[in-house]
């Protein structure tokens, strides 16, 4: 196995990536232990139903993304496509905002959008 040190371009935070003969080993990141953040506009759509076993993971993923250009939509359901009055429009608004941020140079002057 070969280990290669690289760094995140925004934070210059070094991290180790180990390679085997079959390719890179999977490395899991978590917002509470890693300074590396996803630095492109992102859309996150998840339910606020506390019974949803995937909700904590969705929230962790939100935290793994930089705040500039991070768009979040919480809906009333669980791990499912949002339904109900206005749901389609809310989803479209989130995606349109992500595209607008990306076209503007991802995150220049734009912070986080949260639709709840």
Give the position of tokens 């709840």. Answer: 116
* Burial class of residue 59, CB neighbours in 10 A (0-12, 13-18, 19+): middle
| Model pLDDT for residues 4-53, shown as the tens digit of each residue | 444 444 444 555 667 777 777 666 788 988 888 999 999 999 999 988 89
Residues in the chain: 116
* Burial class of residue 75, CB neighbours in 10 A (0-12, 13-18, 19+): buried
pTM of the model: 0.68
Residue ranges per structural domain of the chain:
1-33, 37-115
Reduced to 3 states, what is the DSSP secondary structure of residue 2? Answer: strand
| Model pLDDT for residues 56-81, shown as the tens digit of each residue | 999 999 999 988 889 999 998 999 98
């Amino acid at each position: 196995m070969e280990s290669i040190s690289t760094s995140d371009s925004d934070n210059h935070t070094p991290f180790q990536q180990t390679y085997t003969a079959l390719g890179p080993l999977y490395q899991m990141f978590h917002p509470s232990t890693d300074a590396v953040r996803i630095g492109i506009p992102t859309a996150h759509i998840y339910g606020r139903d506390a019974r949803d076993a995937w909700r904590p993971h969705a929230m962790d993923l939100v935290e793994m993304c930089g705040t500039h250009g991070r768009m979040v939509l919480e809906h009333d359901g669980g791990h499912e496509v949002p339904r109900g009055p206005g749901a389609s429009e809310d989803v479209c608004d989130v995606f349109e905002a992500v595209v607008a941020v990306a076209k503007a140079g991802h995150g220049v002057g734009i912070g986080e959008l949260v639709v709840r």
